[in-house]
Structure 1
Amino acid sequence: MSTADNRVVLTIEEAAKRLGIGRTTMYALVMTGEIRSVTIGRLRRVPVRCLDEYVTTLLDQPMTPAA
């Protein structure tokens, strides 16, 4: 288990990697507020629980059939 797996907050890049998405997509999700984040000093961090909340929100959305 890596050190990042034990932390409460992650960098944008670490959060993106954990979700399996690109850094640009992660920044967009944070900037729109879809994924909540915190500022610690001058640094933007994503609490691990906010990633869990985001995924739960996605799971709660009704499924749309593929076109």
Structure 2
Amino acid sequence: MTSPPPTVLHAEAAPVLELLTVPQGMARLQLSRSAVYDLLRSGQLASITLGRARRIPTRAHTDFIRTRLEQAAA
């Protein structure tokens, strides 16, 4: 008789905050560089600055798309 496999306990992992470069954000949104910077400048798309580097959280993309979809539905 074989023993049952050991139980593996998984700790709840905190969600990973992925930061994208502006070119990565451009590709995800399929927009030009100037369009993405216009969204960043106007505050429609959130970002953070690390030194001289601008990074866009993936959550900001999701929020931006959700907001646009809600505006279109209204």
Q: Are 1:42 and 2:52 matched, yes or no?
A: yes
The alignment of Structure 1 onto Structure 2 pairs a total of residues equal to 59
Residue type at the aligned position of 1:18: R
Q: Which amino acid aligns with 2:65?
A: V
TM-score w.r.t. the length of structure 1 is 0.78
Structure 1 SS opposite 2:44 = coil
- Structure 1: which 4+ aligned runs deviate by more than 4 Å? none
Greater share of residues in helix: 1
Residue from 21, 30, 40 that aligns with 1:30:
40
For 1:21 and 1:59, the matched residues in 2 are separated by 17
Q: TM-score, with normalisation over the residues of structure 2?
A: 0.71
Structure 2: tracts of 5 or more residues without a match: 1-16
Identity among equivalent pairs (%):
33
Contiguous gaps of at least 5 residues in structure 1? 1-6
**Which structure's CA Rg is the greater one?**
2
